[in-house]
Amino acid sequence: MSNQLDAVGAARLIAGSDGVLVFYHVSPDGDCIGSTLGMAHALQKAGIRTTAVGVDPVPRLYEYLPGWDTLFTPYGEIEGDWDLALILDCGDLERVGPALSVVKKAKRTLNVDHHITNAAFGDYNYLDFTAAATAEMVYLITRELGVTVDFNIAACLYTAIAADTGGFRYDNSMPRTFRIAADLVDAGAQPYEIASCIWENESMARLALLAQALSTLQVDPTGQIAWISVTREMLARTGAGEEDVEGLVNYARKLSGVEVGVLFRETPDGRIRVGLRSRRLVDVGEIAKQFGGGGHARAAGCGVGCDIEEARTKVLGAVRAVF
């Protein structure tokens, strides 16, 4: 079997495995959590011994998803022999964080991802850079496994696709994306309920954090670049958690005339996480690669080992160089 697979090959590899660990990345987002849960539900339905493994907890935002509290096992508690480590939505192997030690316990690795910066790090790789979300690929694998998509799978995968397309507003929403979404709705996914949970379910702490982040909004003299910052002090003052930072970068891009929006976030270890979003002209994935990160042309991220002021200078300099 070639190490470069399609959905059929990935399904065959999974079906022939005695025990599958499904890994999700650190700081999990909607596509990550939805894809992982959807895959775990499908494998269990297929009679394959499986569990989902990660370092960070499921963000509160996605606690409505079926199985969020039953299908995960902390990476430090994984025991026994496992045939396959199935790594979802990770641009590189380091994205699984400390759980990498558990990945090495499996006999083989299967890398399933849609990020164009993915380096094909698995023993086997199913990569589709045209997919709007990794959940599209999980859906295709599920079908090839002969598993009927039920409500649990549909709710998880629809959530993942909706999250990574911004509610089908981003230009990664292709005809296949809508066809898969329609199949998931036929299987029981409820678009209104899911949209309400994702975008109309704000906590007071998140809104307080948003207010403080917007107070830092700055715009380049050209009007094409805007950025906001989130410090550890802001998180402490508002009582917000790391999951409350997700999506804030989009507010910088929403400003009329802005092509690139940037978010600078202080992390507990003193590094700066940088989120980059663009409208149409700039490939922010290439900018993120300059700092050891990656992602997509319109959405990417990276980490910078310096203080926030120096991070702004370096990253904004790279963005301006593109213009």
CATH code of the domain covering residue 161: 3.90.1640.10
Structural domain that includes position 69:
7-199
Last residue of a domain, one of 181, 199, 217: 199
Q: Note whether 37 and 150 are same-domain residues.
A: yes
Q: Note whether 80 and 194 are same-domain residues.
A: yes
Q: Note whether 50 and 64 are same-domain residues.
A: yes
Q: State CA 269 to chain mean position distance.
A: 21
Last residue of a domain, one of 148, 176, 199: 199
Q: What's the angle, vertex CA 20, arms to CA 15 and CA 25, rounded to 5?
A: 125
Within-domain flag for 74: yes
| Percent of residues, the chain, with pLDDT higher than 90 | 83
Please give the residue that has the higher pLDDT: either 297 or 219: 219
Residues 68-90, mean pLDDT to the nearest whole number:
92
Count of structural domains within the chain: 2
Instruction: Please determine, for residue 309, whether its predicted confidence score (pLDDT) is greater than 70.
Output: yes
φ, ψ of residue 5 in degrees (nearest 5): -115, 160
Q: Note whether 59 and 188 are same-domain residues.
A: yes
Quick one: pLDDT at residue 243?
85
Please give the residue that has the higher pLDDT: either 75 or 125: 125
Q: Note whether 25 and 159 are same-domain residues.
A: yes
pLDDT tens per residue, range 42-54: 999 999 999 999 9
Within-domain flag for 1: no
Contacts (Cβ under 8 Å, ≥6 apart) of 6: 126
pLDDT tens per residue, range 235-244: 999 999 888 9
Within-domain flag for 33: yes
Within-domain flag for 2: no
In this prediction the pTM is 0.89
To 10 degrees, what angle do helices 134-144 and 151-164 make?
150
Last residue of a domain, one of 148, 169, 199: 199
Q: Note whether 226 and 187 are same-domain residues.
A: no
* Burial class for 162, CB neighbours closer than 10 Å (0-12, 13-18, 19+): buried
Return d(Cα 195, Cα 167) in angstroms, integer: 7
Task: For residue 2, name the pLDDT band (cuts at 50, 70, 90).
Answer: low
Q: Note whether 175 and 214 are same-domain residues.
A: no
Within-domain flag for 98: yes
pLDDT tens per residue, range 189-214: 999 999 999 999 889 999 999 999 99
Query: Which has the closest alpha carbon to 301: 85, 90, 59, 124?
Result: 90
Give the DSSP H or E segment for 300.
Answer: strand 299-304
Within-domain flag for 18: yes
Instruction: Please determine, for residue 234, whether its predicted confidence score (pLDDT) is greater than 60.
Output: yes
Task: For residue 321, name the pLDDT band (cuts at 50, 70, 90).
Answer: very high
Q: Note whether 195 and 208 are same-domain residues.
A: no
User: Strand runs (DSSP E) across 62-105, as ranges?
Assistant: 72-74, 82-88
Instruction: Please determine, for residue 155, whether its predicted confidence score (pLDDT) is greater than 70.
Output: yes
Task: For residue 1, name the pLDDT band (cuts at 50, 70, 90).
Answer: very low
What is the four-CA torsion angle of 9, 13, 15, 20, rounded to 10 degrees? -130
Query: Which has the closest alpha carbon to 62: 186, 169, 160, 167?
Result: 160
Q: Note whether 174 and 104 are same-domain residues.
A: yes
Quick one: pLDDT at residue 38?
98
pLDDT tens per residue, range 96-125: 999 999 999 899 999 999 998 898 999 999
Q: Note whether 164 and 63 are same-domain residues.
A: yes
Quick one: pLDDT at residue 304?
93
Average pLDDT, the chain: 94
Q: Note whether 80 and 127 are same-domain residues.
A: yes
* Burial class for 44, CB neighbours closer than 10 Å (0-12, 13-18, 19+): middle
Residues 156-163, mean pLDDT to the nearest whole number:
98
Single-letter amino acid, residue 158:
Y
Within-domain flag for 141: yes
pLDDT tens per residue, range 244-301: 998 899 999 999 999 999 999 999 888 899 999 999 899 999 999 999 998 888 999 9
Within-domain flag for 92: yes
Residues 160-179, mean pLDDT to the nearest whole number:
95
Q: Tell me, what CATH number does 247's domain have?
A: 3.10.310.30
Q: Note whether 189 and 91 are same-domain residues.
A: yes
